[in-house]
Amino acid sequence: MPSDTIAAVASGMTASGIGIIRISGPEAFSILEKVFRPKRGANVREYKGNTVHYGHIVRGGSVRGDTVSGGTVSGSTVDGTVIDGSLRGSTVTDDTVSSGTVTGGTVIDECLVTIFRAPHSYTAEDTAEINTHGGVFVMQRVLDTVLSAGARAAEPGEFTKRAFLNGRIDLTEAEAVMDVISAKSDDALVSSLLQLSGSVRRRIEGLREKIMDELAFIEAALDDPEHYELSDYGETMLAHLAPVAAALRHLSGSFGEGHLIREGILTVILGKPNAGKSSLLNALSGEDRAIVTEIEGTTRDILEEQVRLGTLSLRVIDTAGIRDAADRIEQIGIGRAKEYASRADLILALFDAATALDENDRGILELIKDKRAILLLNKSDLAPVTTPEMLQAVSGKETQVLTISAKDGSGLKELEEAVRALFFSGGLRMNEEAVITSARHKQAIDAALASYALLEESVQSGMPEDVYAIDLTDMYKRLGEVIGEDIGDDLADAIFSRFCMGK
């Protein structure tokens, strides 16, 4: 159990309305006492949990054990350090300062302090959250003050790590916290909130219990052969465990989908020059991200944008128009476009309804032959030279052609539905199902399945029963890794260091 007290800015380090400095650990309240002067005198160390207190953060004051009154802090510099400009010259008056309250010192900022008493806090430790004004400079000053009063600067993710080490959350929940913070779409948020609520943990725990039942029975029978009959138990055991293996395969299989939910679908827009690729990127992102002109070959480099399409998240890549270009820079751009296309999850192949299909278009159809692609006929707001039927005929693909206009945004709703059908056919039943989104979870589950395969082999080749126990133990341990049992310190450090500061 951690023994020191840590502090960090828990809100982002950018100018905003409110900044939060979080202090957690056994000394949280005695450190707070040194830096917080409440408006109404009260013993800071004895504040009740789940209460909020108004006052000021001061630096360089001293904690007085006796009661004084009329303590006045003016805006002048007391300990030689600079005071936050907005408070300079103002007067802060404490009518009554009771026992255990800081006196003197420089006012850094006015604030609200929220008190959480162990174990009812995020970390399960004594925690104080100081809400200050959200200026970067002020937050840094308040944090510095807290650190010089005895707290240690927290590592990224250390608050969440403590919640885990103190047993308040398991590892899948801790990882979900990070996913919630970085969720880029509604689906990603729903899946991480589900994980945070323990859906993956409960699923894994249920499966582990069944494995433990078998293990316990075999161990008992080996210990006490007079009372437990083990002969031919192998087949019975496999029959008991078949649903466990099926559930594990299902979980492992959900990773592909989970990964797409979490990272976003890598979507590459391909098309001949002037088809409207950059216009489509702009329409999807709702911003003027890419340069659009009527000049062919406008885009030369790759441009990436995270886009929300309904509840989906896409990483959309705009590329240079594909043609037989003489220009050297354009050639390089086209090379990059092809390279991205080769590793895309999805290609949006864009065709220009206002021009005739040409060799460049045929080249693109050839390029996407074996890829997951949606054919889009753009500029539907103009008089058609190429119709959907003509494109369909040339493509020879079963794929349906969608008509869109990057200019007026028509057809984008249908595009969303097409993407959803392509990737999440049958829909995401996330309310009922645990979806694995972490590569680490998948690895551990696959390792458990490998142990299960060994177990099947042992049974089929008539190995003695004590061999079963080895594979069962291994399965049990591997699944324990998912929820954070039996994980080494290195792994825990690696996981939590991926968190942002202050979480």
Ligand X SMILES: Nc1nc2c(ncn2[C@@H]2O[C@H](COP(=O)(O)OP(=O)(O)OP(=O)(O)O)[C@@H](O)[C@H]2O)c(=O)[nH]1
- Residues that bind ligand X in the complex, under the rule CB under 6 A: 271, 273-279, 292-294, 296-299, 320-321, 378-379, 381-382, 405-407
Min. distance of Cβ 281 from ligand X in angstroms? 8
**Coil, helix or strand for 373?**
strand
CB distance 247 to 208 below 8 Å: no
Closer residue to Mg ion (CB): 56 or 300 = 300
Name the phi and psi angles at 73, rounded to 5: -110, 115
Instruction: Give the number of residues written for the chain.
Output: 503
Min. distance of Cβ 321 from Mg ion in angstroms? 6
- Residue owning tokens 């945070």: 196
382 binds, among ligand X, Mg ion, none (CB under 5 to 8 A by kind): ligand X
Q: Name the token pair of 206.
A: 């249920």
Q: Name the token pair of 59.
A: 């630096």
Could you check whether the bond before residue 156 is cis, i.e. omega within 30 degrees of 0?
A: no
481: exposed, middle or buried (Cβ count in 10 Å: 0-12, 13-18, 19+): buried
Closer residue to ligand X (CB): 79 or 339 = 339
Closer residue to ligand X (CB): 373 or 475 = 373
The residue nearest ligand X at its CB is 321
304 binds Mg ion (CB under 5 A): no
Min. distance of Cβ 287 from ligand X in angstroms? 14
Tell me how far CA of residue 492 lies from CA of 1, 496, 497, in angstroms: 14, 6, 8
Residues 248-277 that bind Mg ion (CB under 5 A): 277
| Gap between the Cα atoms of 364 and 369, Å rounded | 9
278 binds Mg ion (CB under 5 A): yes
Instruction: Tell me which residue of 192, 172, 170, 171 sits closest to 180, measured CA to CA.
Output: 192
Closer residue to Mg ion (CB): 133 or 277 = 277
140 binds Mg ion (CB under 5 A): no
405 binds, among Mg ion, ligand X, none (CB under 5 to 8 A by kind): ligand X
Looking at this protein, which amino acid is placed at residue 268? V
List the one residue from 5, 252, 254, 299 that touches Mg ion (CB under 5 A): 299
Closer residue to Mg ion (CB): 298 or 399 = 298
| Gap between the Cα atoms of 76 and 434, Å rounded | 58
**Coil, helix or strand for 495?**
helix
Min. distance of Cβ 344 from ligand X in angstroms? 17
298 binds Mg ion (CB under 5 A): yes
| Gap between the Cα atoms of 269 and 246, Å rounded | 38
Min. distance of Cβ 379 from ligand X in angstroms? 4
Min. distance of Cβ 392 from ligand X in angstroms? 19
Closer residue to ligand X (CB): 284 or 418 = 284
285 binds, among Mg ion, ligand X, none (CB under 5 to 8 A by kind): none
Contact residues: Mg ion, CB under 5 A: 277-278, 298-299
